[in-house]
Amino acid sequence: MEGLTARLGFAIAAGAIGSSFQHGYNTGVLNAPQGLIEKWIKSYVCPETVNSTGILNGIDLTNSNQTAVEDGCDTSVTIIWSWTVAIYCIGGMMGGSMVGLVSSRLGRKGGLLMNNIFVAIGAALMGAAKAAGSYQMLIAGRLVIGINSGLNAGLAPMYLAEISPSNLRGALGTVYQLIVTLSILLSQVLGLSSVLGSESGWPWLLALTAVPAVFQCILLPFCPESPKYILLDQDDEIAAENALQWLRGTIEVHSEMDDMKQEQANMKMEPKVTLKEMIVKTSLRRPLIIAVMMMLAQQLSGINCAMFYSTKIFSSAGLDPVASQSATLGMGAMNVAMTFVSLILIEKAGRKTLMVSGLVIMLLSTTALLTSLLTFEAVPFMSYIAVGAVIMFVVGFATGPGSIPWFFVTELFSQSGRATATSLAVSINWAANFLVGVGFSPMQMLLGSWVFLVFVVIQLCFIVYVSLVVPETKGRTVEEITASFR
């Protein structure tokens, strides 16, 4: 861990905690109180309930009409709930598409600070929705906090990668995913009925997302802007050197400054890269495709099916509700633990090795899950195999695919193309997240347990792709990596 100073640790905490928390917490926060929120929505969508005599708004209804009214009401609630969940990913796509513009105009640090405005608006809308009696406010709040999370997913890994020494770039880039996993677990714990998962507590559960934003607004102003942004985008060598000295805790930063000056010289020969140039030029298109494929490997592997539908998967495997919830919490805890392991291993084993290893574990786990879901009725013991398979699936995800794609894109591009590439890759990540979240339930209805065979095929394809195409970036400077594509 040479190069990890107290000041660098402070900057990492200030930059990551307030940003990646929003991504993870708002991904998992609606799971536990879903029934309570749906009940509240129903009270406004269908304020008039059919009484015992079959009278609705003074109209005498037959039993068949009563059933039709209730079915229509349930359908409306389901549609509203689906939008409440899905619009978060739509906001993420919107925020991701703005990463390039925000990071170039305001800088990495400036963009993170500005982004907390969205947190304040989103938390206020979600927290006050019940008091105002407006489910529209809840949906609007989810959209706004989604925009915040989309921006954070690009800005925070970029900031962490650019303030880190090259020997720690992978480990510190993993911090973003570590806090995402911690915040998902925290949302699951706080959502328990004994904590905030109650009729009076769920608005506070949603509004709590503002607390880390306050933390970031207090601490991040004491940290410097990314030295690379200062030198390469603002052309201020003295300020960049001062920022680097602050982060490293020493004035001996000449070697890193020389590397950045070399990158600056290359940038002057190649002006700022546009999206069109990135698609047309082979030396830029190849790393862009790799970055996008790494993002797709993360989302299309099926991780959100495990996260969002784990309790349902455990129930369909024959576990009772209490055991299913306990297994889900255990899965979240294992996700956190293995992300810690990934943080330690990434500078030893390398990005490519961990990515392939993680995907192989996920492939084996998905195969085991499919087998157990097909056979648990005949062989009851297979229910426990299903629990173990889902937990091992999360272990595989946390080993590499969970963290590596977020910072890998920043390693493939020089400063001139980094913002544009990150913006595109993050937007595609959120789009894939949205498609899997929306498509899993219909696919499960159509295919039953065989739906997991789809993910087996996808995982196998990505194992082959990463093994054959993706380069190893461990211990290499950005200039060395980009030169390999030229």
Tens digits of per-residue pLDDT, 217-252? 999 999 999 999 999 888 899 999 999 999 999 998
Q: Which residues of the chain have pLDDT under 50?
A: 50-59, 61
Q: Which residues contact 217 (CB under 8 A, 6 or more apart)?
A: 18, 113, 116
Q: Which pLDDT score, from 0 to 100, does residue 271 have? A: 64
The Cα 299–Cα 472 span in angstroms is: 21
* Buried/exposed code over 344-366 (b: 16+ C-beta within 10 A; e: otherwise): ebbbebbbbbbbbbbbbbbbbbb
Q: Which pLDDT score, from 0 to 100, does residue 312 have? A: 63
Count the alpha carbons within 13 Å of 461 in the hemisphere toward its beta carbon.
13
The Cα 397–Cα 155 span in angstroms is: 22
Sequence letter at residue 429: N
Tens digits of per-residue pLDDT, 11-53? 999 999 889 999 999 988 887 788 889 889 888 777 655 344 4
Q: Which pLDDT score, from 0 to 100, does residue 63 have? A: 53
Q: Which pLDDT score, from 0 to 100, does residue 71 have? A: 61
Sequence letter at residue 262: Q
Tens digits of per-residue pLDDT, 245-293? 999 999 988 998 998 888 888 777 766 677 788 888 888 899 999 999 9
**Domains of the chain from N-terminus onward:** 1-49+65-223 (1.20.1250.20), 273-486 (1.20.1250.20)
Give the residue from 243, 163, 189 showing the smallest Cα distance to 24: 189
Percentage with pLDDT > 70 across the chain: 90
Residues across the chain: 486
Sequence letter at residue 86: A
Q: Which pLDDT score, from 0 to 100, does residue 242 have? A: 95
Q: What is the pTM of this model?
A: 0.84
Q: Which pLDDT score, from 0 to 100, does residue 50 have? A: 39
**Distances 47 to 152, 162, 205, 433 between C-alpha atoms, Å:** 39, 54, 25, 34
Q: Which pLDDT score, from 0 to 100, does residue 68 have? A: 58
Q: Which pLDDT score, from 0 to 100, does residue 208 have? A: 95
